[in-house]
Structure 1
Amino acid sequence: MQKTDFFISYTEADKKWATWIASVLEANDKTTYLMAWDFKPGDNFVKNMHDALRNCERFIAVLSARYMGKVYCQAEWTAAFTRDPSSEKGLFIPIRIDDYQPEGLLAPIIYVDLFGVEESEAKERLMQITEKGIPRTKPGFPGTKKPRFPGQLPFNNIPYTKNHHFTGRKEILNELMGFLKPGESNPNSIVLCGMGAVGKTQIALAYALNNGYLYDTIWWVNAEYTIALLNSYQDLLLQKGIIKKNISYEESDILQSIWGWMSQQPNWLFIYDNAESEKELAKYLPRSNTGHILITSKSPEWRNVEKIKVDVFQPQEAVDFFSSFKLEQSIDDAKKLAKELGYLPLALDQAAAYMLENDKSYQEYTDLFKKYRLVLFENVEYKSISYEQTVATTWNISLDKINKSAKQLLKLFAFLAPDHIHKDMFLQSSEYLPEPLASVVRDELKFDETTRDLTRYSLIQTDKGQFRIHRLLQEVIRQSLKDKVQWFHHCVGILYKLFSYGQYDMETWDICARLMPHVQSVLTHEELKTETEEIAGLYAAGAQWLHHTAQYEESLEWHKKALAIREQVLGPDHP
């Protein structure tokens, strides 16, 4: 075997990167050894690999998360690494092609970074690893075209530009890469599900942009409405010359044509954005497994598709997101603001836009938010570039789709604490509920259907008979209410009936501990209070529980409030 300048080690998923790197090097009078070009059917793989490694001057590792996960790749790079462990001779050259950070033995080695750069810059960086001679063009591998630069997107209709503030979500992106493996079709479909404003579309976009080199076609489909979905299909067929302009086609014709095209084309990625439900989308999905399907949806009810649940940012992700805007201020203040906004990506994005435009600090924005609440998110001037909707409108779209009893239940949730809302609270106090909700909660099947209507759009989350709602969604609902006082008193009635403290009755202790956050949440709405015996009773019972938990000063304040209300309702001379 002849000596070669470079042995290029890669995993099959990164084949396009490997062939592009080889073509650039060979176009500059360097020789390469590449499995895609130099291995023939029937060859002894292990012997060829051994000989190639022994006869190469330098070793290139096409570095990605997928590469590091392959056993045979580990064998190749570790063998090459031992030839130059200190990297003094430059014999071992890692070339990074995705958002993977080298660890362990590879951490101190300087790599050539091709991730996220344009082709001209990538070529320039690549040529730094070798002496530049007079460029001459060598013929490519027989029968092939010049390899497309893998950092360049394939044929696509992606409607969004790269979000330079996209941060975090590495676990989700790694999960996507683990599921959607090139050349493998099981599974070939996955859905990102979660409530509005958590950034599902942005994650899908990041996956498409970071992994575009794996595909020959990436097609973005607006899956919210059938007509939009069919239009997306029709656009692809028109661009491929399969159908003609200015001709009306039946739905069945469009579907048969797109399915036929898909079955004959490998390596495509179709992204179905904002799908309503599995039932509505299923009839339009591809019938072949020659590509990958990525879906975003508010609904968690997907039974035949792998699911990844998308939630709000983790606290550190939220701080990192703020940091991407170069708002060089107190990290502690950033943490406080992120918590105040419930770590919701869209809210953080809008807040950052406002702070940049108006030169506000984290603390100043926090103070503004506490004063003006959702009003800050209504100004379209500060609408996020990365999101099509504002915080309020993204949820209002879903709120318009749920049934009446589900809307009534949400109105109650809007005044309670956002976490640990127990299902049995409503059954045990149904006399304080309005119709039709009162009748619904008494019928377990109907109540399940009502709560399912809310989870279908990820407006709430459920876990073992408990519900959870985002605090900003509570704000949106309260702001929309024309009859806030009525719904406030419904909540007071529920808690008045259920919250009962007995000093020597230990069963009531668990009940009080569970309900106290809801009592405190409801009673914070001072502006809605009209003095009633129920409110006085709630303050009195709450005061007893606060005393029980050694919160003596607050207990005294609540006793005073209970007494003042009773004097006003019953009169100062009432026994």
Structure 2
Amino acid sequence: MAQKQANKCLLLFDNADDPKIDLNKYFPQCNHGNILITSRNPGLCVYAGSHSAVADMEASDAVDLLLRSAAQATTDPNKVVAAEIVKVLCYLPLAIIQAGAFISKSGNLDSYLALYATNKTQLLSQKPAQSHDNYAWTVYTTWQISFDQLSQQAKTFLQLCSCIRYHGISEDIFRNAAGYKFGMSSPSKEELQMPLDVLSQFSDPSGNLDPLCFMDVTSEIRAYSLITFHSDQHLFSIHPLVHDWSRSTVSDRGYHHCMVAIAGMSLAGI
């Protein structure tokens, strides 16, 4: 028994987020011990005997985290204000910790929401000097680093999706649009050139949506936790804060017009 206990070990891979790294070659070739992996990449579930997705925080836990991070007293009035703040932050732990660090610096819990309404990008991009965690990146920096790793196809798809509602995103939108038929009263091909060019990135030679290509692109984005697939509904969603951030990366208004056109083509193709 003593020998068995001595042979037990725990190997931890923390923040193993890069989907290009094959973790398997770092696993010890033995039949004892445990391996714990924390990652935003759902693809690593293939190695897991069991796995658990970490969802957004419960409201009460989020309030406690914010007040603790902000060094604010847990009074009832503070809890009310904190509840509004964490709701706006969509209960995302990293955003809450970052907000708490800022509030701790300013000392003013009540003014945060007003500042956030007009300075969201700046507040979610700044790394506070003092923080309750040792994570190196800010909320927006984390997503930007992931975004920079994506292929151009994946970047285009994510930015297009940021131009529509963040949940209930269906592959059918793009499949139906790819099958759009031009008619006498429809816009000309020249008028729809941009959406046609975008759809061609996900289409086969015959012009139909290529399901393997679409799966590859969405899987690439999912590997960085920038989009979520709900298998029970066959729909995609984007976290509201990721959705806001992604929309802020779209400097070309053409993307908005393009997605509107794709949606219109999709409806016409039903």
Band of TM-score, shorter chain: 0.7 to 0.9
Q: CA deviation at 1:312?
A: 1.8
Provide the alpha-carbon RMSD of the alignment: 2.7
SS in 1 for 2:202: helix
Matched, 1:273 2:41: no
How do 1:186-205 and structure 2 match up within 5 A? none
How do 1:392-431 and structure 2 match up within 5 A? 392-430=140-178
Give 5+ residue unaligned stretches, structure 1.
1-11, 13-35, 37-181, 184-264, 501-510, 512-575
8 Å CA contact 1:405–1:437 kept in 2: the answer is: no
Matched, 1:474 2:222: no
Residue identity opposite 2:37 in structure 1: I
SS in 1 for 2:13: strand
Residue identity opposite 2:238 in structure 1: I
* Distance verdict in 2 for CA 1:333–1:350, change over 3 Å: same
Partner of 1:316: 60
Distance in 2 (alpha carbons) for counterparts of 1:457 and 1:401:
9
Residue identity opposite 1:372 in structure 2: N
Distance in 1 (alpha carbons) for counterparts of 2:27 and 2:196:
42
Partner of 1:233: none
Number of residue pairs matched by the alignment: 239
Aligned counterpart in structure 1 of residue 225 of structure 2, from 458, 475, 484: 458
Distance in 2 (alpha carbons) for counterparts of 1:270 and 1:330:
41
Distance in 1 (alpha carbons) for counterparts of 2:165 and 2:223:
21
Q: CA deviation at 1:497?
A: 4.3
Residue identity opposite 1:380 in structure 2: K
* Distance verdict in 2 for CA 1:462–1:358, change over 3 Å: same
Moved runs in structure 1, 4+ residues, more than 6 A?
none
Distance in 2 (alpha carbons) for counterparts of 1:474 and 1:461:
12
How do 1:29-178 and structure 2 match up within 5 A? none
Partner of 1:282: 24
8 Å CA contact 1:384–1:390 kept in 2: the answer is: no
Distance in 1 (alpha carbons) for counterparts of 2:125 and 2:201:
36
Distance in 1 (alpha carbons) for counterparts of 2:113 and 2:195:
35
Q: CA deviation at 1:335?
A: 1.6
Q: CA deviation at 1:278?
A: 9.3
* Distance verdict in 2 for CA 1:359–1:293, change over 3 Å: same
8 Å CA contact 2:58–2:91 kept in 1: the answer is: yes
Alignment identity in percent?
Answer: 30
Distance in 2 (alpha carbons) for counterparts of 1:494 and 1:384:
43
SS in 2 for 1:271: strand
SS in 2 for 1:467: strand
Distance in 1 (alpha carbons) for counterparts of 2:130 and 2:94:
9
* Distance verdict in 2 for CA 1:433–1:482, change over 3 Å: same
8 Å CA contact 2:159–2:247 kept in 1: the answer is: yes
Distance in 2 (alpha carbons) for counterparts of 1:495 and 1:443:
18
SS in 1 for 2:261: helix
SS in 2 for 1:459: coil
Aligned counterpart in structure 2 of residue 368 of structure 1, from 115, 118, 121: 115
Listed one character per residue, the Cα deviations across residues 403-436 of structure 1 (whole Å, up to 9, x for unaligned) are 1111111001212222111221122224663635
Say which structure is richer in strand.
Answer: 1
Matched, 1:438 2:231: no
> What's the TM-score, normalizing by structure 1?
0.39
Partner of 1:344: 92
Aligned counterpart in structure 2 of residue 380 of structure 1, from 127, 136, 158: 127
Bigger radius of gyration:
1
> What's the TM-score, normalizing by structure 2?
0.78
Which structure has the higher relative contact order (CA within 8 Å, separation 6+)?
2
Distance in 2 (alpha carbons) for counterparts of 1:295 and 1:278:
16
